[in-house]
C-alpha cells in the first residue's frame, strides 16, 4: 500500500527545474532509496515532501490526504520526519538534550515554545526524557547520552540525527545521505539500523550514493537525473537498466560506490 503518492511533483528555483514532473509512490513499511548524480534534485525532493519547500506544481498525498501545502512542523506532527544532509546538531549540548530539544523544534511552530518551557511542558519533561532515552537505546547510543555532541564520532552524530527523527514518533523517516563521510564498517552498521527501523513499522526513504549498501538494503529504488525520474524498480532492475547505467552507474560516480 502507498503511504505517500506524488503526482507531477515539480519545483523550480528561478529558471532551474530542480524536480521535474515526478510521479512516484512510497510503499508503507518498505525501504525506498532515491539515487542520482549530485544536483539531480534528491534533497529538493525530500524538502518538498517534508514541507520545507512548496512545490511549484503537483500534489503530495500522505495516507491519501492532500498535504501539498502543509508546512514542515505540521508534517512532523502527521508523522513525516527527516534528517538533513549536513548534520545540524547543537555541538555544545549533550546527546540527550539534542534529542529532546530537536523534538520540540520539529513539532512546534514557534521557536519560543521550543526554547522556553511552559508549565505544561515542565510536567511533560520527564516523559520527553524517557522517550529520548528509549530512542537513544534503539539507535545504540544510550552510553553516549550525557556526552557533548562535539566529542562524539561522525558515525555517532549520524545516529543522533536519526534519533532526532525517530523521537517524533514518525510514520516515515527521510534520511538524506545518512552514510556520507563514514567508513564501510560503520556504513554496514547504519544499514542494519535502517532495516531495524523498517522492521519496527516505520517506512524508510533514503538518499545514498553508496551503491553496494543501497543494492543490499532497498526494496525499491527511484533514480533522479536533472530533476526527472529516469527509472524506478527493484535493485536488480535498476542495476540492469541501460538508461541508469549511462546516466549514473556507469559514469564517473562509480568511484564513490565503495
* Interaction between residue 29 and ligand ADP (CB under 6 A): no
Binding partner at 92 among Mg ion, ligand ADP, none, C-beta below 5 to 8 Å by kind: none
If binding is defined by CB under 6 A, does position 191 make contact with ligand ADP? Answer: no
Beta pairing class for 172-176 and 80-82? parallel
- Residues of span 138-157 touching ligand ADP by CB under 6 A: none
Hey, which residues between 85 and 114 contact Mg ion (CB under 5 A)?
85
Binding mask 37-56 for ligand ADP (x = CB under 6 A): -xxxxxxx------------
**Long-range interactions of 234-241: CB distance < 8 A, separation 24+:** 238/35, 239/215
Backbone angles phi, psi at 23, to 5 degrees: -105, 130
| 206 scored as a contact of Mg ion (CB under 5 A) | no
Nearest to 129 by CA among 168, 165, 99: 99
String of DSSP letters for 129-156: HHHHHHHHHHTT-GGGTTSBGGGS-HHH
13 part of the interface to ligand ADP, by CB under 6 A: yes
Q: Which of 4, 20, 37, 43 is the binder for Mg ion (CB under 5 A)? A: 43
Part in contact with ligand ADP (CB under 6 A); list of ranges 36-44, 109-117, 124-132, 134-142: 36-44
Element (H, E) at 213: helix 211-217
- Residue given cell 524498480 in the structure block: 233
How many of the chain's residues bind Mg ion (CB under 5 A)? 3
Q: Which residues bind ligand ADP (CB under 6 A)?
A: 13, 16, 18, 36, 38-44
Amino acid at each position: 500500500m502507498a503511504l505517500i503518492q506524488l503526482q507531477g511533483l515539480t519545483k523550480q528555483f528561478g529558471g532551474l527545474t530542480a524536480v521535474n514532473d515526478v510521479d512516484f509512490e512510497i510503499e508503507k513499511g518498505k525501504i525506498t532509496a532515491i539515487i542520482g548524480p549530485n544536483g539531480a534534485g534528491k534533497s529538493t525532493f525530500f524538502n518538498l515532501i517534508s514541507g520545507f519547500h512548496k512545490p511549484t506544481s503537483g500534489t503530495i498525498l500522505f495516507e491519501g490526504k492532500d498535504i501539498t501545502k502543509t508546512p514542515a512542523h505540521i508534517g512532523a506532527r502527521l508523522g513525516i520526519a527527516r534528517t538533513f544532509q549536513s548534520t545540524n546538531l547543537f555541538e555544545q549540548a549533550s546527546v540527550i538534550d539534542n534529542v529532546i530539544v530537536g523534538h520540540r523544534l520539529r513539532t512546534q511552530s514557534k521557536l519560543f515554545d521550543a526554547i522556553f518551557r511552559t508549565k505544561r511542558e515542565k510536567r511533560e519533561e520527564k516523559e520527553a526524557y524517557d522517550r529520548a532515552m528509549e530512542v537513544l537505546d534503539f539507535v545504540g547510543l544510550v552510553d553516549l547520552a550525557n556526552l557533548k555532541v562535539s566529542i562524539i564520532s561522525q558515525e555517532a552524530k549520524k545516529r543522533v540525527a536519526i534519533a532526532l527523527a525517530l523521537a517524533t514518533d514518525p510514520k516515515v523517516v527521510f534520511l538524506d545521505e545518512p552514510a556520507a563521510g563514514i567508513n564501510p564498517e560503520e556504513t554496514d552498521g547504519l544499514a542494519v539500523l535502517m532495516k531495524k527501523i523498517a522492521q519496527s513499522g516505520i517506512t524508510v526513504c533514503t538518499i545514498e550514493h553508496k551503491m553496494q549498501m543501497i543494492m543490499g538494503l532497498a526494496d525499491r529504488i527511484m533514480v533522479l537525473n536533472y530533476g526527472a525520474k529516469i527509472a524506478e524498480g527493484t535493485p536488480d532492475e535498476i542495476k540492469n537498466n541501460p538508461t541508469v547505467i549511462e546516466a549514473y552507474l556507469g559514469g564517473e560516480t562509480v568511484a564513490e560506490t565503495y
